[in-house]
Structure 1
Amino acid sequence: MDWQRGLRRQFGREQDFGLENLTSEPFFSEFRVSNPVSKSSYRVVIRGLGPGGNFCSCPDYATSELDTCKHIEFTLGRLEKKRGASAAFVRGYQPAFSELYLRNDGKRRVHFRAGTDCPPALREAAAGLFDAEHNGMLPDERFGELERFMTIASKSGHEMRAYDDALDFVAGRRDADRRAAKLAQLFPRGAADRKLQALLKAPLYPYQAEGALFAVRIGRALIGDDMGLGKTIQAIAAAEILARNFGVSKVLVICPTSLKYQWQSEITRFSGRQGENAARVINGGRPRRQKDYALDDFCKITNYEKIQPDLDLIAAWAPELVIVDEAQRVKNWNTIAARALKRIDSSYAIVLTGTPLENKLEELVSIVQFVDQHRLGPTWKLLHEHQVKDEAGRVTGYTGLEKIGQTLAPVMIRRRKSEVLRQLPNRTDQNLLVPMTEMQMRYHQENADEVAKIVQRWRKTKFLSDKDQRRLMIALQNMRMSCNSTYLLDQETDHGVKADELAALFDELFAEPEAKAVVFSQWMRTHDIVIRRLEARGLGYVSFHGGLPSEKRPALVERFRDDPTCRVFLSTDAGSTGLNLQHASTLVNMDLPWNPAILEQRIARIHRMGQKRPVQVINFVAKGTIEEGMLSVLAFKRSLSAGILDGGSGEVSLGGSRLNRFMKDVENVTGRIGVGEAVAPAEEVRNIVTTNDAGSLEDISAEVNAAAGTPAVVPVDGSDPWQALAHIGAQFIGALAAANDPNAPAHPWIERDPVSGTQSLKMPLPPPETARQIANALSALADGLRGKIA
């Protein structure tokens, strides 16, 4: 402690701060110390030379427990150079007025200092309340008597100065006591009270009700439950209790960009609040955000990156409750976003993080500082007491962590799955909405435009050629693939959010040593981008797909089951049947299959007999895309048989009433595509080339052609060149018919000169092998005809 004070003394007296005396007293006065570099200023109160009694409004003084800081030491250094300083400090501080102030020498406590003019009655009341042997300290057990003492002081006519930090501390204690009393009155049975079950549109499990009440009772709390235990619904329940009973009308949610729409959806779903004013996602440029913050909303949802530039807007809106989700996602809390977060002022705060905190001491310090900056004490002291270092001074571990847990208990609630196992359902499903990057949206929109053209053609004619059907299937497929990553379409870039969200989920899930997860995607290229994240984190995995020889498949299942370092089972739908993977309890669908039966087959790999733990199913859904439309129109999935888009035949012929139903469902799904926020990719991977997914629907060349909008000849069975020729001939006749009919819909092979109006035919060639077989057949036919003529 002495060396820490020495550092501040040396540093403070070397500074070139500005100093302004705010009273007429030359030494024992209040000063303003200003920093010309940072443009900040702090109020400094000097009551003596040594530690104790002096005060500074800076954060370091509030949390260091040293009773000094560089601003106090700077001020003392200046005062000691003034004439009469030695005599003044020897004489000591003897004001006529009395003071109520706060000291923090390991624990914050209220102190009383009597002035020279303090009347006998007030001195007597103070003697019965404050401990004279400890510099007039107010014992904790006597805190309830402070209000009566302050009433006596106000009626005495004597000047008693109560400083802001002391008054804030007293007010906080009073509010907490009153809040606890009101909660006991509102919910006399605590977490078991039926009123809590009627609070939201979904029932709360007992531990969730307990967490919500804990957060409200404490006022500023940290909920550190294991992943999958419903921290979000606990925070929403706490917000509703505060809104309905404690006057809270403005809630700010701060979360990663990828979770903003998820929060909006769940607030609407659970709270029952309707309309955009219930939960508004803050998006767009500064003018739009400024307009959004000026609106009268119950909840606003923003991301970490927007805190610093929007601090003035947040302060003007003045949220009463701040919810910070996925706090562990800010790995370095000495960042602009982290510092900005700590500058947000609110009466209530709830921090959510599922990462075990005892293994990340440095990150824990700053997370807890937002909840209660005094809870863990100064960082220097905490690390000194709990870090284990080698001879070279490198940190090799931590010790005495149980003491930290005891210190955190008043502000943190943490439950493990094993503790609440009996309360959990057998299976929970969560649709996790994630944003798209700009590049993803570009691919998605190109194919959406192609779908729109085909739908428009169908509206006019109620007929689609085989070629249009195939183009439609490819465009729909490409839209879905773009939702995972651009890598699935171009094999070079990796713009996408899903894989990074999965990696963040694993960071939380695998903090539990025995946790394992199964990840499904229809496309092997999704495996590629996931594998890169797994290998970067040193996580073991197996990749299961249709191209694996059957004799090698059991070994992969056995490794996943028996190898503790193998945490992830990656699978295409080749693994959706016949596998027993119940040693995992988390299943992630990177993309939803069109067929609901296949979805249930996937889930049945872990949600089956022998599963001893609750199962969590997480579906990644790209916001504002075809995937979100699929969720809205379940009939679309029912109308598609297995094989159309899930790895079946590349040739699909739809006709009659089935085509009508299908096209109506296409309209419904694409018509429900919403508006999502495009985000910058977390990382960009270039020049990566792999082979095509053996289980994909189309050959990649056809996919690229369709994505680029180039019409392709529908391939047919190459063993019959006459069938191929007849097929091409039919398409050629259709193009000629369209060219001669001004009322016919635009044909992709027909091009019209915008000036002359002249039409030309641009006919794509069939695949090389098909073209060769057709040429050979026609050549043989010509030879035969020449022979007959001769």
Structure 2
Amino acid sequence: MTSKRRNLKSAPKPNKEPKFSRTHAPADLSPVDWQRGLRRQFGREQAFGLENLTSEPFFSEFRVSNSASKSSYRVAIRGLGPGGNFCSCPDYASSELGTCKHLEFTLARLEKKRGARTAFARGYQPAFSELYLRNDGKRRVHFRAGTDCPPAVSKAAAGLFDTEHAGTLPDERFRELEAFVSLASKCGHELRAYDDALDFIAGRLDADRRASTLDQLFPRGIVDPKLRALLKVPLYPYQAEGALFAVRNGRALIGDDMGLGKTIQAIAAAEILARHFGVSKVLVICPTSLKYQWQSEITRFSGRKGKNAARVISGGRAQRQKDYVLEDFCKITNYEKLQPDLDLIAAWAPELVIVDEAQRVKNWNTIAARALKRIDSSYAIVLTGTPLENKLEELISIVQFVDQHRLGPTWKLLHEHQVKDEAGRVTGYTGLEKIGQTLAPVMIRRRKSEVLRQLPSRTDQNLLVPMTEMQLLLHQENADVVAKIVQRWRKTRFLSDKDQRRLTCALQNMRMSCNSTYLLDQETDHGVKADELAALFDKLFADPKAKAVVFSQWTRTHDIIIRRLEARGIGYVSFHGGVPSDKRPALVERFRDDPSCRVFLSTDAGSTGLNLQHASTLVNMDLPWNPAVLEQRIARIHRMGQVRQVQVVNFVAKGTIEEGMLSVLAFKRSLSAGILDGGNGEISLGGSRLNRFMKDVENVTGRMGEGEAVTPSEEAGTIVAGSAGAEDINADVDTGMGELAAGQTDGAAPPLRDIGLDPWQALMQVGTQFVTALAAASNPNAAAHPWIERDSITGAQSLKIPLPAPETARQIADALSSLADSFRNRIA
């Protein structure tokens, strides 16, 4: 007997389920079966807590709790197969799989109980009837009749629900549901409805009521006089259309091109919701730099006055807590304060949330994105001129806040639209136009070309300028570094972390050298661009009303421009990420209202959301990698309210990495157009992320062309734009930069120059700069030092010291070590 038991115990278990990979789907399984298998596998491995909430042993409601995350979800078991069961977790709500790890855990536990096989074979047969929600690609309300369902209710259900499709409620018959529920109640029959079904039904009925109310309020639609007079300034027809679209949908994304007035559309929608739909609390979430601008424009457009109209949330936790208690129509906060203030926001309970510059949450793994999705509100308006900047996945996070079901589950979206090679690497996207059609019910997007009659014309010029000998020397030194790393990549198809850092640093130094040697070596200023700009201003400012905006990624470019402006007596303001947010409105106002202030110098870090349409010329001293950033720059002046022709001038250093970058925009533009603008539905990426990056490096550096250094006499003079010194070109773009993220940004300090420096000279240079930086940090009135970084939110300062080249650094370390040894010997 003992031997037999031992043999039985050691025998392998029959029907052991295979283990699934979380990254690679089995060839013999559909994506749906694979995803369900993963949840089944993962759920049955867990040690969750399980509590039965009724007296029914199997077909009951349970609470599944996770002690690690301190979360719990309600689970309803109606059978073994997917679709009929329910879980209150987010994965069940959005995955379209009809199951989740909590359901699979519960089923695994129930299957081990005595009588489970008999109970599940008999099936779920409750006396009461149910209204429940299923999501099989489209959310639908279903009716399940109980064993005690009266004949009258059964007859009404047969006429209302589509019995051929598991008792589905047709979309056009939602209004009849209330009468059906009332009939069941009169018959004394118990009809249970789950929370997700009730929320879905309420949302559909509310949408119908909003649409009916809007038709009554504005019978003439977007040209209705009452809509035109809604704000203190008249709405353009397309802006009225956007406001009505947002209200009619309740939760919507306005993805218009930059400069078309998304802010005023959101304010108009908020006013309609406030006056006719009972909204009294509006939360605006935007970048820190835009908080005071939102406050100003709400007051200006809506006519609401006082702090209670729009309050900027700022200060420490105690101050913010006081602000959230106050009765305001609108509160304005920034992304960084969402997570720490979630409890305060929940207690205030906004009815409408407006999210500005929503591309900030394109990565759904960021703290801000996760916090945003936890904010509960009946209405939401998301604003972004660039809902898609680099890749398809960026859309997911933004759209999920508007409607978590619109794009369907992430696994399904990527399976349908990603193109992969045999190794499973993403090589492109397909069927992008289908995503655009899917988004149409919740997203409205107008391009400037569609409303061009209401916008001034715009001209773009690429001006090729020559480099000086010193610039070319710096550029070539770093180009050689890039070439060696690329050659190593070609041989090994691998780059160490050190090589990747060296590569991005060298690429950035190449770009910085194109503006002036000053960006890499503050002892010199060899370059043509600043003088080229001064010559342009000499002609432009012959018009006493002309103003210009100048962009550069680096504040040191501002420094060399300021020298030229001050020499000519031209007024200016410098606007960058280091300027405190409460000081920024004054700079914008000065540029707008002071006739002597002719130039607005800005970096990308400080430019988000600026309205500078009182200028008609925009100069890009350097090109950004990302086309969305370039269009953001241009949209600062080419926007509604602009009454003059807009001129955009891009300075491009001839024979350099900048000339190669003229081909940088095509891929990202085509990706955006495929989804948002109905463009080409097929786009190729090619290879892994690093592989694409390296191909882009080769592509850009391979298209630099041939440069010619200007002589010292030419450098000292000014080269008139459009003359022999600067060549006007129109580049054909056919490929772009993948996902390059190289380059220091606003305020970053460049590496130290090492040419001709012995270790002690290099150390002296570091020491001198260090003392200067400390002096600048201790004096609030001192000019900004490139080594000093200031947090725009907290005001805290940090010191970032650039290092010399590795060989020089080693020599310095050896010299200091010898000095320390000598000092220790003297003490001994």
Task: Report the TM-score, using the length of structure 1 for normalisation.
Answer: 0.61
SS in 2 for 1:388: strand
Contact 2:577 2:746 in 1 (8 A): no
Q: Which residue does 1:554 correspond to in 2? A: 722
1:391 CA displacement: 2.5
1:139 CA displacement: 1.6
Q: Which residue does 2:586 correspond to in 1? A: none
The CA deviation string for residues 385-419 of structure 1, in whole angstroms up to 9 with x for no partner, is: 00112233222221111111111111000011111
1:183 CA displacement: 0.4
Contact 2:406 2:438 in 1 (8 A): yes
1:229 lines up with 2:397 in the alignment = no
Aligned-partner Cα distance in 1 for 2:631–2:298: 32
Q: Percent identity?
A: 73
Counterpart AA for 2:731: D
Match of 2:449 among 418, 422, 443: 418
1:5 lines up with 2:23 in the alignment = no
Contact 1:206 1:423 in 2 (8 A): no
Unaligned runs of 5+ in 2: 1-31, 459-544, 550-554, 557-565, 580-600, 611-622, 638-650, 666-699, 735-744, 755-771, 783-828
Q: Which residue does 1:280 correspond to in 2? A: 311
Match of 1:98 among 126, 129, 135: 129
Q: Which residue does 1:245 correspond to in 2? A: 276
Aligned-partner Cα distance in 1 for 2:167–2:127: 17
Question: Using a 3 Å threshold, how does the CA distance of structure 1 residues 166 and 274 change in structure 2: closer, same or farther?
Answer: same
1:97 CA displacement: 0.6
Contact 2:359 2:387 in 1 (8 A): no
Aligned-partner Cα distance in 1 for 2:444–2:636: 30
Q: Which residue does 1:179 correspond to in 2? A: 210
SS in 2 for 1:397: strand
Aligned-partner Cα distance in 2 for 1:271–1:557: 51
Q: Which residue does 2:55 correspond to in 1? A: 24
Match of 1:160 among 155, 178, 191: 191
Question: Using a 3 Å threshold, how does the CA distance of structure 1 residues 548 and 293 change in structure 2: closer, same or farther?
Answer: farther
Q: Which residue does 1:500 correspond to in 2? A: 605
Q: How does 1:213-362 map to 2 (within 5 A)?
A: 213-355=244-386, 357=388, 360-362=391-393
Contact 2:575 2:603 in 1 (8 A): no
Match of 1:685 among 729, 733, 749: 749
The CA deviation string for residues 269-320 of structure 1, in whole angstroms up to 9 with x for no partner, is: 1111111111111111111111111111111111111111111000000000
Contact 1:503 1:533 in 2 (8 A): no
Counterpart AA for 2:83: G
1:564 CA displacement: 5.4
1:554 CA displacement: 2.1
Q: Which residue does 2:418 correspond to in 1? A: 387
Aligned-partner Cα distance in 1 for 2:312–2:368: 18
Contact 2:362 2:396 in 1 (8 A): no
1:88 lines up with 2:103 in the alignment = no
Question: Using a 3 Å threshold, how does the CA distance of structure 1 residues 183 and 685 change in structure 2: closer, same or farther?
Answer: same
Aligned-partner Cα distance in 2 for 1:283–1:519: 26
Question: Using a 3 Å threshold, how does the CA distance of structure 1 residues 231 and 482 change in structure 2: closer, same or farther?
Answer: closer
SS in 1 for 2:380: strand
Counterpart AA for 1:549: G
1:510 CA displacement: 3.2
1:516 CA displacement: 8.7
1:498 CA displacement: 4.0
SS in 2 for 1:283: coil
Contact 1:497 1:682 in 2 (8 A): no
Greater Rg by CA: 1
The CA deviation string for residues 670-709 of structure 1, in whole angstroms up to 9 with x for no partner, is: xxxxxxxxxxx9764356689xxxxxxxxxx9xx99x979
Q: Which residue does 2:627 correspond to in 1? A: 510
SS in 2 for 1:106: coil
Aligned-partner Cα distance in 1 for 2:730–2:449: 21
Aligned-partner Cα distance in 1 for 2:636–2:183: 68
Contact 2:358 2:387 in 1 (8 A): no
Contact 2:128 2:145 in 1 (8 A): yes
SS in 2 for 1:420: helix
Unaligned runs of 5+ in 1: 434-438, 441-472, 487-495, 521-526, 567-680, 691-700, 712-790
SS in 1 for 2:400: helix
- Greater relative contact order (CA < 8 Å, ≥ 6 in sequence): 2
1:196 CA displacement: 1.3
1:140 lines up with 2:171 in the alignment = yes
1:357 CA displacement: 3.3
The CA deviation string for residues 304-357 of structure 1, in whole angstroms up to 9 with x for no partner, is: 111111110000000000011111123422111101111100000001111153
Q: Which residue does 2:145 correspond to in 1? A: 114
Counterpart AA for 1:553: A
Contact 1:283 1:289 in 2 (8 A): yes
Aligned-partner Cα distance in 2 for 1:329–1:308: 14
Contact 2:624 2:630 in 1 (8 A): no
Counterpart AA for 1:324: V
1:502 CA displacement: 4.0
Counterpart AA for 2:283: L
Contact 1:131 1:137 in 2 (8 A): yes
Aligned-partner Cα distance in 1 for 2:427–2:170: 40
Counterpart AA for 2:627: F
The CA deviation string for residues 758-781 of structure 1, in whole angstroms up to 9 with x for no partner, is: xxxxxxxxxxxxxxxxxxxxxxxx
Contact 1:221 1:351 in 2 (8 A): yes
1:477 CA displacement: 11
Counterpart AA for 2:383: L
1:480 CA displacement: 5.0
Counterpart AA for 1:685: A
1:501 CA displacement: 3.5
Aligned-partner Cα distance in 2 for 1:683–1:81: 63
1:140 CA displacement: 1.6
Aligned-partner Cα distance in 2 for 1:38–1:272: 46
SS in 2 for 1:357: coil
The CA deviation string for residues 396-454 of structure 1, in whole angstroms up to 9 with x for no partner, is: 22111111111111100001111111133679x9x999xxxxx99xxxxxxxxxxxxxx
Q: Which residue does 1:454 correspond to in 2? A: none
Aligned-partner Cα distance in 1 for 2:340–2:779: 39
Contact 2:400 2:406 in 1 (8 A): yes
1:479 CA displacement: 11
Counterpart AA for 1:214: F
SS in 2 for 1:373: coil
The CA deviation string for residues 39-72 of structure 1, in whole angstroms up to 9 with x for no partner, is: 0100000000011210000000000000000000
Aligned-partner Cα distance in 1 for 2:40–2:548: 52
Question: Using a 3 Å threshold, how does the CA distance of structure 1 residues 426 and 479 change in structure 2: closer, same or farther?
Answer: closer
Aligned-partner Cα distance in 2 for 1:379–1:162: 28
Q: How does 1:758-769 map to 2 (within 5 A)?
A: none
SS in 2 for 1:249: coil
Question: Using a 3 Å threshold, how does the CA distance of structure 1 residues 478 and 293 change in structure 2: closer, same or farther?
Answer: farther
1:124 lines up with 2:155 in the alignment = yes
1:143 CA displacement: 2.3
Q: Which residue does 2:223 correspond to in 1? A: 192
Contact 2:252 2:443 in 1 (8 A): yes
Question: Using a 3 Å threshold, how does the CA distance of structure 1 residues 47 and 264 change in structure 2: closer, same or farther?
Answer: same
1:212 lines up with 2:236 in the alignment = no
Aligned-partner Cα distance in 2 for 1:515–1:373: 28
